[in-house]
Amino acid sequence: MSQQHATLLQFFANWCYPCKVLTPIVNTVETKMSNQLHVSRIDIDQEEDLASRFHIMAVPTLVLMKDNQEIWRHTGVLSENDLKTALGSALSGKL
């Protein structure tokens, strides 16, 4: 069974300390889940229209997209384990 990759949108800002904390966690999870997941990093100061379209009110915000549908969202910092668990649940439809 072929599984289409999902995309994790990582909304951040360069001035945001929690964003700097979350980035290496997302990078590690992206490496470990590379067969299921692609990460797209979006600077809200550079991509204001995109941030507005996704109703981003705070950073860091993660939005998981699959088949052009949002299937999961989280604002704030997560541990690597919590992020892997949440993404795994979302991707398997168990949320």
Question: Hey, which residues are catalytic here?
Answer: 16, 19
Asked, as a colleague might, if the bond just before 24 is cis with ω within 30 of 0, I would say no
Domains and CATH numbers, the chain: 6-92 (3.40.30.10)
CA triple 17-33-26, angle to 5 deg: 0
pTM score of the predicted model = 0.93
3-state percent helix, strand, coil for the chain, nearest multiple of 5: 35, 30, 35
pLDDT per residue, tens digit, the chain (95 aa), is 345 689 999 999 999 999 999 999 999 999 999 999 999 999 999 999 999 999 999 999 999 999 999 999 999 999 999 999 999 999 998 76
Which helix (H) or strand (E) segment holds residue 74: the answer is strand 69-75
Which helix (H) or strand (E) segment holds residue 20: the answer is helix 17-32
Q: How many residues does the chain have?
A: 95
